[in-house]
Amino acid sequence: MSEGFETKSTDTAKNTRRQQKSREIANIGTIQQSLVEHFSDIKDPRVERTKKHQLTDILVIAILAIIAGAQGWEDIENYGISKQAWLEEFLALPNGIPSDDTFRRVFEFIDPEGLNRCFMKWVETLLTTMGGEIIPIDGKTIRGSYDRNQGQGALHVISAWASEQRLVLAQVKVEDKSNEITAIPALLELLDITGAIITIDAMGTQTEIAKQIINKKADYVLALKANHPTLYSQVKEWFEKAQAQQFQGIDVSYDKRLEKAHHRTEIREVWAVPVAAISELYQPKLWAGLQTLVMVVRVRHLWNKTTREVQFYLTSLNSDAQIIGRAIRKHWGIENQAHWTLDCTFAEDACRIRSFHSPQNFALLRRLALNALNREQTYKRSLRQKMKRAAMDNNYLIQVLSCFINNTLDSSDSLCQA
């Protein structure tokens, strides 16, 4: 009798495992189909006679490998070989796993603008609303991408970051012998920023950029520094005088915040005044939508010293120090949560991929992986630990992808955001 029950129990366990396996294959099949749809517009750069591997297989393996921590072409090939039996369940792989040279050659010649468009289309499916979203725009140099023998400098890209949703929205390459002033308008042109607040550091504080943001029905907070010497000096002197008189008779909005972390205490004070408060302001009409001038004072108490920093801003927002101060604070999210993570977790600066379009394409795949890992929030660990688990656990990798693809799977998006 006991043997009969034991057999029944074993059969039940086998059936359960088969059902789980079927669901897993169905989920990854749905994910694979979604990946194909998102990247279907990418033109295969290879001639027909050299196509031993499908472009879809190459793209999917590269994405999975980078989410799992791959930092180069050999890492991607090694991931594919290690996971070949699993990958064969949902990829064609007519000639097995592509070699590292195949991955390199394909990504050298894939059009980075086409890949960026597909990436943006993918991100758009994840965004809820841009109304009130704070979008910092900032540049990052990928320091290991230089090639001294070819006279090629390191790649510099401009990225837009949705601070609340923790997603990279798009990236644009800064062309050689150019700077961020020309790249930022190109990036803004790609994005639907209606209702958002765009924050940019001093390099992007340009009248045409302010006009473009206003024309796209968004607001801006722009850092004002000495690259606009006349306006900067005037605003600086006015605030110093007004502060010395404790802003008597001036319509000023004030906010003060104190933060303690990492053996550091920081006090941030924000003063915001309407443009009309400064009589004879230098050429204010050049700045489309300009409403408010802002001064921020940051005092940091470290264990061995105290620092004080004063910065000024131009903004199209109304004079509300709390809202403006929050937007300014959120600007640093692109540095701390995106750029720092790309360097320290994805080892971006150390990467020596540098030929043709491959640095730009690989950088975009890193940002895709960053988005995917940020979306998955059920595993309460660091991104590095998430990457390691994705490398070891196929089911968890499916969970990460299901969160990013936004499909209705067994691991639904509501679980991803739990």
pLDDT tens, residue by residue, 163-199 = 999 999 999 999 875 789 999 999 999 999 999 999 9
Domain boundary among 315, 342, 369: 342
Total count of domains within the chain: 2
Task: Based on the fold, state whether residues 174 and 318 are members of the same structural domain.
Answer: yes
Q: Which of these, 209, 215, 241, 212, lies nearest to 228 by C-alpha position?
A: 209
Question: Which tokens hold the place of 21?
Answer: 């396996």
**Both 94 and 111 in a single domain?**
yes
Same domain, 41 and 67: yes
Report which of 107, 147, 145 is spatially closest to residue 361, judged by C-alpha positions: 107
Asked whether residue 349 is assigned to any structural domain, the reply reads: no
Q: Is the pLDDT of residue 412 over 60?
A: no
Structural domain containing residue 178: 118-342
The distance of Cα 246 from the centroid of its chain, to the nearest Å, equals: 41
Residue finishing a domain among 316, 342, 368: 342
pLDDT value for 408:
37
Do 167 and 289 sit in the same domain of this protein? Answer: yes
What is the C-alpha separation between 60 and 291, in angstroms, rounded?
47
Q: Which amino acid is at 28?
A: I
Backbone phi and psi for residue 185, each to the nearest 5 degrees, phi listed first? -60, -40
- Residues 376-411 have pLDDT tens digits of 999 999 999 999 999 999 999 999 988 877 543 443
Do 67 and 52 reside in the same domain of the chain? yes
Rounded-to-integer distance, Cα 126 and Cα 219, Å: 22
Q: Is 272 a domain residue?
A: yes
Q: Residue 180 maps to which CATH number?
A: 3.90.350
* pLDDT, average across residues 46-58: 93
The two tokens of residue 130 are 């841009």
Q: Is 298 part of a structural domain of the chain?
A: yes
The per-residue pLDDT for 24 is 64
